[in-house]
Amino acid sequence: MGDHVAVDVGELVASRAGEAAGLVPGKEETEALIGMVECRICQEEDLAKNLESPCACSGSLKYAHRECVQRWCNEKGDITCEICHESYKPGYTAPPQVHHNETTIEIRFVIFIYEASLFFFLLWCLCELYVRVISKKLCISTA
């Protein structure tokens, strides 16, 4: 027995006819579907040519829209990838970091001042009450 190969040409002809009628995706549409990748930040699919590889990440984390990466850098405050720990390629910026200096009052300090003021006010009230009661008793006992 010899080896036989069977080819169904009917499907190829039907496929070409369907493609011409717009029922089957054509070559351009198939190439577009193959070139679709997902932005790792916004999770929207787009053509690979519209996305960048901003760092050393690979696989499904490789691609991202430039605008998405820049927005993430602005929110995060730096241009380092939190996955591969590489800096994003040149062109990305981060806002300058705000340094807290002596003019920034910490809430703990404000609470301490409030509690100390309240303590000394109550102490003063007790002293006034004590002085008035003692002075009345002294006036009564001397009379």
The pLDDT tens digits of the residues spanning 8-56 come to 555 545 455 555 555 555 545 554 557 899 999 999 999 999 999 999 9
55 vs 33: CA distance, rounded Å: 24
Q: How is residue 46 written in tokens?
A: 């787009």
* For residue 141, pLDDT beyond 80: no
Q: What is the pLDDT of residue 31?
A: 46
